[in-house]
Structure 1
């Protein structure tokens, strides 16, 4: 799709030389973890991670017996915990971390319970699972992966949110890369980074390695080298898959009011890398740059003029630029109109395809084999209700107040069969009324 040679991206680049590709960060982080695991983690460990959920998945009796055994080993504790029954999903981003945490939390009890099951001393499935759980290096790998996969998951979750905090998500990604750099490299006297002889693996895994005194010294050394290789692969993949995205996203981040109205504004921080993709008109580019340079004005005036609920510095970027553009259009002013359009175009760039993937999943749930004759206008209406956060607030459906405008629409013409486009327009008009209608304590 976005390869350098003979891909959709390379062919688009031939037609539009100034276009820019922004890869899905969630997918990129998932590939980072997957590549590091494929290259460094033993294959038998993944057989363990898949084998334990598979052993329980087809037998409710086994799950019930294990829960009873866990309750006996933990008297007085609540059973409201995550049991190791969740399978490893290949199509879900970073589902590996949750599976590892569940198995690691039950490691000792799970091993003792499996030893009591038929076939625990044979070469069958149960016997293999017992040998894997008895392997001290497999447990070390799960401790190590639990920590580092969780770090990647934390960053991924920030980008997956429906209303993601873009500046916060970018900061978390930058912070994660910097923390990983300090684990692998050390800064020398001339300001460059060199590879550490022994990377900082983390306190939990180092303490575990110190307790492996009965294991072979060569096996321990190989284990530490494999852990080092995992972190190195993560760093290399991050540099390969997120470096270009970060450069662009950091520039877009400077369009937030908090940065624009800071005490010191660096004029080069406007995302000029996107200028050529937005327009090739040199005069328009200079006009946007001039508007950006003159934008730093009295913040109080902006709050009053744009009718902002919060201070300008606390305002969300898309809210600020949308209100500024509306104000310019309503008052027929052109002081910041081109800059507002450019800023909104930059902010509309998708950080990830998580929202689109979520819509696809919702489509599959709504229009299933029992509702396969559902027309597109109905599907669009349901998706709009499910994906619009403003319409999920209290007072939308359950506590809906019938307004005078809604009653006026309920007349003889409402039974006329509209076209598909008309029905969609009417639906979105009603949704707009629901969002803008003032709240009332009673019926009109």
Structure 2
């Protein structure tokens, strides 16, 4: 991984300080010491104030083991005036934790897209392609085989000729180009 992402490895390695135990614990580093601070584009003074104050709140014990639940709770926290007083720090932490460490997942989606929308199926519209990709991803996540998939009534009702373009022309290379009028 260090060979593929030499400039970002230190950022990925430093994300361990974003665990709830570290953020509200005694060993929390200063915000200025964090290597990923350069990724923040907002008011650093406000972020620093929230970072320092976050440990003063008695957070529910059930959210501490789960980073996502903890961040959601931090984001939703309101001060006495009803203002979300940790919004910036929660949004920043969640955005950092959602960064992909590689582009493999994006490459997989493009491969699946190329398998689905081939030269034979070139009239397929984007909505149909997205739907097929969503169903495929859902089935993979839930370990469902395609022969056990049962479409709902709403799925079947939207499966009409409208999913294909009505206007198409052939160019000089004998490939079909779609023209939506």
Q: Which TM-score bucket, shorter chain as reference?
A: 0.5 to 0.7
Indicate how the Cα distance of structure 1 residues 379 and 413 shifts in structure 2: closer, same or farther if over 3 A, else same: closer
Indicate how the Cα distance of structure 1 residues 358 and 390 shifts in structure 2: closer, same or farther if over 3 A, else same: closer
**2:55 is equivalent to residue 293 of structure 1:** no
Q: Which residue does the alignment assign to 1:369?
A: 119
**2:109 is equivalent to residue 359 of structure 1:** yes
Which of 386, 390, 407 aligns to 2:136? It is 386
1:286-325 alignment to 2 at 5 Å? 286-296=45-55, 297-299=57-59, 301=60, 303=62, 311-313=63-65, 315=66, 317-325=67-75
Gaps in structure 1 of 5+ consecutive residues: 1-24, 30-240, 304-310, 421-444
1:112-191 alignment to 2 at 5 Å? none
Gaps in structure 2 of 5+ consecutive residues: 166-181
* Between 252-261 and 357-366, the greater mean CA deviation after superposition: 252-261
Q: Which residue does the alignment assign to 1:228?
A: none
Distance 1:285 1:377 in 2: 41
Tell me the TM-score normalised to structure 1 length.
Answer: 0.30
Tell me the TM-score normalised to structure 2 length.
Answer: 0.64
Distance 2:140 2:86 in 1: 28
Indicate how the Cα distance of structure 1 residues 389 and 288 shifts in structure 2: closer, same or farther if over 3 A, else same: farther
Q: Which residue does the alignment assign to 1:256?
A: 19
1:209-288 alignment to 2 at 5 Å? 242=6, 244-268=7-31, 271=34, 273-279=35-41, 284-288=43-47
Greater length-normalized contact order (CA 8 Å, ≥ 6 residues apart): 1
Distance 1:360 1:414 in 2: 24
Cα deviation, 1:102-156, whole Å, max 9, x if unaligned, reads xxxxxxxxxxxxxxxxxxxxxxxxxxxxxxxxxxxxxxxxxxxxxxxxxxxxxxx
Distance 1:248 1:341 in 2: 17
